Amino acid sequence: MDFSSKLLENAVYEVSQLPGIGKRTALRLVLHLLKQPEQRTENLSTSLVDLRSKIQFCENCHNISDTTICEICANPKRDDAVVCVVEDIRDVMAIENTGQFRGKYHVLGGKISPMEGIGPQNLKIGTLVDKVKKGVIKELIFALSSTMEGDTTNFYIYRQIEGIAVKTSTIARGIAVGDELEYADEVTLGRSILNRVPFEGSFRQD
Ligand SMILES: [Zn+2]
């Protein structure tokens, strides 16, 4: 692409670095911004800079938060004893939308994936195991997507806490294998949390 302006070229380049946005779409978006009042672009830039500089991760559950302890963890009406293990904030949002879960979360920050070079040490598994060892948690609900990576991660955590008196369950799979949680409709997801099944027996023991 030949640009008549270096400023335009830079802006298009930065926007095109976002996933799913090619150079042509980036150009269209940047030209759109140029037609809008200047304030719009300022708001956009400020919100992104603020996001990066001010965002925090909850010290307890590792969810994205504006405070050191997130709203869910700080809520005394929520049950500390039931913890739902999820991959990221999108799963928290999906489960919260069902209105069926009154426990707390633990956000791993991903799934074990040897293909992508993600091992247990790259995820927030250690802090989860520590919490379980402290004995406050009575039930862990594995709510990772039922992909091979999700199953591997569930099983890894399960092995880490084996022998500790904590109930483990997994969300019932009305959700087809391979579906990501965030795409499950609220009714199905809500039902699968209520109808969760014991983790033992949910996996094959070869
Ligand atoms: Zn939290």
**Tens digits of per-residue pLDDT, 175-184?**
554 556 666 6
**CATH assignment of 6-52, among 1.10.8.60, 1.10.8.420, 3.20.20.70, 3.50.50.60:** 1.10.8.420
Least confident segment among 18-27, 98-107, 166-175? 166-175
CA of 91 to the centre of ligand 1 (A): 14
Task: Give the model's pLDDT for residue 68.
Answer: 95
Per-domain residue ranges of the chain: 6-52, 78-202
Is the sign of the CA dihedral 23, 28, 31, 33 positive or negative? negative
How far does the centroid of ligand 1 lie from the alpha carbon of residue 174, in Å?
27
Q: Do domains 6-52 and 78-202 have the same CATH topology?
A: no
What's the whole-number mean pLDDT along residues 42-48?
97
- CATH ID of 78-202, from 3.40.1360.10, 3.40.640.10, 3.30.420.40, 3.40.50.2300: 3.40.1360.10
Can you list the pairs that 181-187 forms with residues at least 24 positions away whose Cβ atoms lie under 8 Å?
Answer: 181/86, 181/87, 181/90, 181/91, 181/94, 181/95, 181/143, 181/144, 181/145, 182/90, 182/91, 182/93, 182/94, 184/94, 186/94, 186/97, 186/98, 187/98
Supply the pTM of this predicted model. Answer: 0.81
Q: For ligand 1, a single-atom ion, which residues have Cβ within 5 Å? A: 58, 60-61, 63, 70, 73
What does the DSSP assignment read for 92-113?
HHHHHHHT---EEEEE-SS--B
